[in-house]
């Protein structure tokens, strides 16, 4: 349960002692007011990717109670992940840290842009991957993977023959003259053998939003926009089918096309407003790294930790 200030809670002294182990500001002060403790909690929360509310609630206490030995093992596991990286990074690249639900555009060692992102849920995790953006697609159609169609769409299709039409979706290989699959008996379709290709056409409600960064890869994961912007306000954004939705997608696309966050903005806005699908090739490919850092050093050298969203740390720690 939460440790509250202003009440006689035997754990409060233990909380201060625990925070002081890794907070030199708090450790240097022998007398601790409620304001001092609140500020120390917020600093701890910031280092550990917890909403900075200054409260010693469940998430904060859970993180504080992780044994130091396990944290050391996590650091070792992430050092191993660094070993998988190139010895020299490209002059410019995009790095997505899935556990942190964040993206950074880096040029000449300097972070030019950061953004919140939405990442894959546990059932469809975002992979560890290096790929390259070769073009920006304005008003992209969404070619829905067969496994997603079988899992998410087929139950609705069995109930309503108008499901595809109502959601601006079509069959690209369906019966002649029946783009919405109204003549198909969907109850007879076996999910494991889903036979049709479904595409969601461009529009305000398309899952990919107004922009997608085209980076062909074996996992079919991409950086793209989303029509549901409110999702970015949540502290937990582990909800996609594996692709990464980017809050600052227009600024990122401008950087990819022109090297500047503003220079390409008018062109992108005009192209998006046309509602027509258009491919805007990059002058040079932009490397993208989908990474899994559950422990990393900040600019001041302090170590930050993030949730092991997909349970990838334990097998790696065991292997090491």
3-state secondary structure of 231: helix
Active-site residue 224, yes or no? yes
- Any alpha helices (H) in the chain, and if so which ranges? 11-20, 24-27, 34-47, 58-64, 68-83, 146-148, 154-159, 163-166, 249-258, 265-273, 313-319
Contact 286, 216 (CB under 8 A): no
**Interatomic CA distance for residues 129 and 290, integer angstroms:** 5
Q: 82: which 2 tokens?
A: 């660094």
**Strands of the 198-200 sheet, one edge to the other:** 142-144, 198-200, 169-171
Catalytic residue among 32, 156, 168, 243: 243
**Interatomic CA distance for residues 207 and 54, integer angstroms:** 36
Catalytic residue among 32, 156, 168, 224: 224
Residue matched to tokens 């030199």: 24
Contact 157, 132 (CB under 8 A): no
**Interatomic CA distance for residues 129 and 151, integer angstroms:** 25
**Interatomic CA distance for residues 308 and 10, integer angstroms:** 31
**Interatomic CA distance for residues 242 and 125, integer angstroms:** 5
Is 84 exposed, middle or buried (CB count within 10 Å of its CB: 0-12, 13-18, 19+)?
Answer: exposed
**Interatomic CA distance for residues 103 and 116, integer angstroms:** 6
Determine the distance from the C-alpha atom of residue 288 to the mean position of all C-alpha atoms in its chain, rounded to a whole number: 13
Active site positions, annotated? 224, 243
């Amino acid at each position: 349960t939460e440790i509250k200030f202003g009440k006689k809670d035997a754990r409060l002294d233990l909380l201060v002692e625990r925070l002081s182990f890794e907070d030199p500001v708090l450790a240097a002060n022998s007398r601790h007011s409620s304001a001092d403790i609140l500020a120390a909690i917020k600093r701890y929360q910031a280092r550990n990717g917890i909403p900075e509310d200054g409260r010693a609630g469940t998430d904060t206490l859970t993180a504080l109670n992780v044994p130091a030995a396990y944290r050391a093992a996590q650091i070792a596991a992430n050092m191993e992940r660094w070993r998988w990286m190139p010895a020299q990074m490209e002059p410019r690249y995009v790095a997505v840290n899935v556990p942190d639900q964040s993206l950074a555009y880096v040029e000449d060692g300097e972070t030019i842009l950061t953004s919140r992102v939405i990442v894959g849920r546990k059932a469809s995790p975002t992979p560890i991957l290096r790929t390259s953006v070769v073009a920006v697609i304005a008003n992209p159609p969404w070619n829905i993977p067969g496994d997603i169609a079988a899992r998410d769409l087929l139950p609705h299709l069995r109930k309503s023959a108008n499901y595809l039409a109502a959601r601006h979706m079509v069959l690209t290989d369906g019966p002649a003259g029946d783009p919405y699959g109204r003549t198909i008996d969907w109850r007879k379709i076996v999910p494991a053998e889903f036979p049709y290709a479904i595409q969601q056409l461009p529009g305000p409600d398309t899952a990919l939003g107004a922009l997608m960064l085209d980076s062909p890869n074996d996992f079919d994961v991409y950086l793209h926009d989303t029509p549901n912007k409110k999702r970015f306000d949540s502290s937990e954004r582990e909800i996609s089918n594996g692709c990464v939705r980017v809050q600052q997608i227009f600024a990122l696309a401008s950087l990819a096309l022109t090297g500047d966050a503003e220079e390409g903005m008018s062109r992108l806005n005009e192209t998006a407003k046309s509602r027509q699908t258009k491919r805007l090739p990059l002058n040079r490919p932009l490397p993208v790294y989908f990474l899994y850092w559950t422990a990393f050093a900040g600019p001041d050298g302090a170590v930050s930790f993030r949730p092991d969203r997909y349970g990838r740390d334990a097998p790696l720690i065991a292997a090491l």
